[in-house]
Amino acid sequence: MKPINIYTLTRISNPERLCRLERQLSGRNVFLKIKEWEIKGLRALTDRLCEHSSDAPAYDFFYSFVMPKLGKEFDLIRIASDSVVNIELKSGDVTDEAIRNQLLNNRYYLSTLGRTMHFYTYIDSENRLVRLSNKGKLTETDFDDLISVLKRQDDMYDGDIEDLFKEESYLISPLADSARFLRKEYFLTFQQRDIKKQILKIVKRTGADKERPVPVQGFTGLPGTGKTILLFDLAMTLSVWDKVCLLHFGARTKELDNLNERLKRIDFYYCSEGTPPEITDKYEYILIDVGHKINREYLDWILDLSRKWNAPIVVSYDREDAISEEERLGYGSCLIEEIPEFILYRLTNRIRLNAELSTFINCVMSFKTRSQRKDYPSVSVAYANNVEEAGELICEYEKDGYVFLQDKNLSKPVFPSRAAMYKNNCEIEGSEDSGKEFDKVVVLLDEGFYYDDEGDLRHVSNSAVRRLFHGMSRAKKKIALVIKENERVLDVMLFILQRK
């Protein structure tokens, strides 16, 4: 999306013509839906600028830009080599507090550009211009001030604004990017921030009133909706007040150990199958990561600790609707949601996984009833007649940058002797993928997989389907399936990929 000349745009008053011209000027892929009051406000702003400067008809702005994945929208942005000017447009009655909060949010999200920032709001019904001070206060200003700031901008950026907001610059994993997480070089989506606000409100109320029942709150969603970053961000916030106990039900990794070492006010406990870890300290808050792997014994133990310490519980767990109901029974998501007075929040925006891969994974889990597409350019399938061919194919994918997520409970591929030359330590256990993400993922489907009469994917051993689901969901850009000695599953995959 390119910057546009707002003087040129606002010489047209007809909404339909204006939308068509805007798309031509900006080069965006879709038509904007611009309301009449928005046109009126943009024209009023442009006219005021022209009254104060003869240069105003030449001013270009990025108009109605939405940050990818986050959904954060800005009315007008003007970007120079060393500064950014953001102007928001208002028409009707709006409180100063609402204006200030919006500009503070804008400052939060635009900080990734690393430039001096200036924030304004123009209310055309009052012909009023306000700005956000460096201390975060809303102050009255005039167009001479705005014009002087615009005139100081030089070396204007006129490229595609999306290039300045690459998702990897603000959508990070606290495990894969622990250093950036600790420096708070990340953003939460509006949905994540709203859930965080509601959770903290209830937590604070609990601390103030010891007579209230200890709340158990949790958020869920499909893989890729940002549960891990939200939970760890909550842990960081709560740790400012008191010590936090974080119970992790995934595999122990060096990234978690690194965070545990550096976050002194947060203590990590790894909860593998068997005996719960010994905890001698008292904690004010209990957070649970990878809660969908919890069992009844562990859950009862945690609830006892919560009552003993009067410590609120916050749990993060995957939503596994794509997996057949019988496969899910007895696992954490069902147990958690059965807790009396459990408070549930749902994350619905998939900030990591793209729509194509999300649809494909759902079809793999249940090819008869899930949504479908006409094509899947980011998915590839290969067939192996034995473990040697499976190893050969997986190595070829690894040469192309794929990460092999191996399920240790399935038959193990036999890799060729030359694999060590280019393998580059890509192989990890499928059980260790929780919280991690990869651009390209390759997985193995062996002869134990099959589809039942309802079209649901099953396996002769327990939990293999769940591990496959969570493994594929770690892919951000591409998925490859290596199918070994299973022509029936191959036929289903080809049907999904070529269904019209």
Residue-by-residue DSSP string for 440-480: EEEEEE-TTEEE-TTSBEEESSTTHHHHHHHHHTTEEEEEE
φ, ψ of residue 433 to 5 degrees: the values are -85, -5
Domain with CATH 3.40.50.300 in the chain: 188-346, 355-498
Query: What pLDDT is stored for residue 406 in this prediction?
Result: 87
Give me the residues of the chain with pLDDT under 50, please: 424-425, 432
pLDDT tens-digit series, residues 142-180: 999 999 999 999 999 999 998 888 766 666 778 777 777
Amino acid at 227: K
Beta bridge partners of 32: none
Angle between helices 36-52 and 143-152 (to 10 degrees): 80
Three-state SS for 221-278 is ECCCCCHHHHHHHHHHHHHCCCCEEEEECCCCCHHHHHHHHHCCCEEEEECCCCCCCC
Contact 345, 195 (CB under 8 A): yes
Q: How far is residue 189's CA from residue 105's CA, in Å, rounded to a whole number?
A: 11
Question: How does pLDDT run across 218-230, given as a tens digit for each residue?
Answer: 999 877 788 889 9
List the beta bridge partners of residue 5: 60
Q: State residue 402's pLDDT score.
A: 94
The reported pLDDT for the residue numbered 424 is: 46
Alpha-carbon distance 155 to 139, whole Å? 28
Could you tell me which CATH number the domain at 355-498 has?
3.40.50.300
C-alpha torsion angle, residues 109, 115, 118, 119 (rounded to 10): -10
SS3 content of the chain, % helix, strand, coil (to 5): 40, 20, 40
* pTM of the full structure: 0.67
CATH of domain 188-346: 3.40.50.300
Cα 8 to Cα 213: distance, rounded to the nearest angstrom: 61
Per-residue pLDDT at 425: 45
- The per-residue pLDDT for 264 is 77
Q: How many of the other CB atoms lie within 10 Å of CB of 400?
A: 11
Of 347, 350, 235, the residue nearest 289 (C-alpha): 235
Q: In 3D, which of 112, 153, 108, 103 has the Cα closest to residue 131? A: 103
